[in-house]
Amino acid sequence: MKKLFLFLVFAMLGIGIIPQVQAKDVMPIRVSLNQVNTIGMYQVGDDVTIYKEPNEESQILYRVRWNKDEFFPEDIGAEKFFMVFLPKKSLALVGVVDMTDDWVEIVYDNNTGKTGWIKLDDPYKFMTWINFYNTYGKKYGLVLLKGAPETCKDIKAQTEDNTKTISTMNYPKKINLSVIRGNWALVSVLDLDKTPKTGYVRWRSDDGIRYFFPDIK
């Protein structure tokens, strides 16, 4: 019976009936306090060596490798390592804490906030948060992260907390981004009641906690 089962499994693999395991997409869905000190994001390749210090003679903390099906090492995992991981779009981004001319300090464990250094192979792979939001937020719109304070739903007339609230988003179907101004975002919201609402929302706290994130799909 066991031999018959194995025969059927291999036969199904041979004719492609059993699908291959696809890599899981990674996108922020909840407010994170471990990424507060990040200055932006860096697009990494599929083989990344993480050092304790910005020096190749320094201790190697991890060597991370991935493809569209797998991620190594398993004790970190793609969800901990990446801030954004969309294999179909070849988009693999990690949070950046600091940069030098040759090195990038990244958060390699989103659960603990642990950081390490990787070699800078292309300065154009780094995006500040403002550039990232202007690039991806304008293209895909924004999504409100779970755990964000209720005040983030308040749409303001100006970029100040104590300014007039002109509307409130309840169940937004679409949040279109027009421009980022400091910690505020000018948005146009299509709510569940299909009433357009336009004004400023706080996308980030003064301490760097992000409440909204580009809804990349």
For 195-210, what is each residue's pLDDT tens digit? 889 999 999 999 999 9
pLDDT score, position 125:
96
- Domain spans of the chain, in order of start: 19-121, 130-214
d(CA 145, CA 153): 11
Q: How confident is the model at residue 35 (pLDDT cuts 50, 70, 90)?
A: confident
Residues 39-45: what's their mean pLDDT?
A: 96
How high does pLDDT run on average in the chain? 88
The neighbour count for residue 149, using CB atoms within 10 Å, is 12
pLDDT digits (tens, 9 = 90+) for 119-130: 999 999 999 999
pLDDT at 60 over 50: yes
The neighbour count for residue 193, using CB atoms within 10 Å, is 9
Which neighbouring-strand residues pair with 99? 104
Residues 102-129: what's their mean pLDDT?
A: 95
pLDDT at 184 over 90: yes
d(CA 146, CA 106): 24
pLDDT score, position 89:
87
pLDDT score, position 23:
58
pLDDT score, position 106:
97
d(CA 73, CA 76): 6
Residues 183-193: what's their mean pLDDT?
A: 93
Residues 45-73: what's their mean pLDDT?
A: 94
pLDDT above 70: percentage of residues in the chain? 89
pLDDT at 37 over 70: yes
